Amino acid sequence: MGLKAVFKRLEVAHEGGTAPSRWINNDIKPIENGRRTWTFWTYNNLWILTNTNISSYMVGSSLIALGLTWWEAIIAIVFGALISMIYIVLNSTPGAFYNLGFPVANRYTWGLYGSQFVIVNRILLSLVWYAVQAWIGGSCVYVLLQSMAPNLEERIPNHMPASTGMTTYVIPFSDPNHCRVET
């Protein structure tokens, strides 16, 4: 079985009369009434789910650690959320009024080739955000492990300087023999 046969087998049949190409497919066409299934509660639950994570909770504690009082931190968070909301509403206007998705709005703003810059930008931003979330998740796992084994710091010495802001607690995940328990 050659590579062409594998690709032919993996190919998804296209819908409608237009064969998909680099510039047009069903995901880019305006959304018909039958495909608009999201309600107020769908959007509401999406935003609650998006903002209910450890990173969001860390914003308040970080502001307090920087010297703000609790009420100043709340005001700063609400003010920042309102500023973000203005740009989010402006960005979603083409979808709300003309049923156009982000790829179409991106193309008529930046052009067919300029829109690829925005796509690459979004990909890189997603990778950075994933790295931040992975680091926070790793820190949570480390705290969990420390609660189960209080002498974890003795088993894994930190050889990195304090100025890096990092520790060597990631080593056990890359080398299981590193923190082997000697009996």
Residues in the chain: 183
- The pLDDT of residue 177 is 53
> Model pTM?
0.65
Q: How many domains does the chain have?
A: 1
User: Quick check: 145 and 137 in contact, CB under 8 A?
Assistant: no
Residue 122 lies in a domain: no
- The pLDDT of residue 171 is 55
d(C-alpha 55, C-alpha 139), whole Å: 12
Tokens at residue 122, please?
Answer: 């979004």
Residue 155 lies in a domain: no
The one-letter amino acid code at 156 reads I
d(C-alpha 122, C-alpha 132), whole Å: 15
Distances (CA, A) of 150 to 36, 44, 140: 53, 41, 15
Residue 34 lies in a domain: yes
User: Quick check: 121 and 45 in contact, CB under 8 A?
Assistant: no
Residue 3 lies in a domain: no
Residue 69 lies in a domain: yes
Domain with 30, as residue range(s), is: 15-100
Output the tens digit of pLDDT for each of the chain's 183 residues. 689 899 888 877 776 666 767 777 777 777 778 878 889 999 899 888 888 888 888 888 899 999 999 999 999 999 998 999 899 889 888 888 888 888 888 888 999 899 999 999 999 999 998 888 888 888 888 888 888 888 877 777 777 777 877 776 665 555 555 555 444
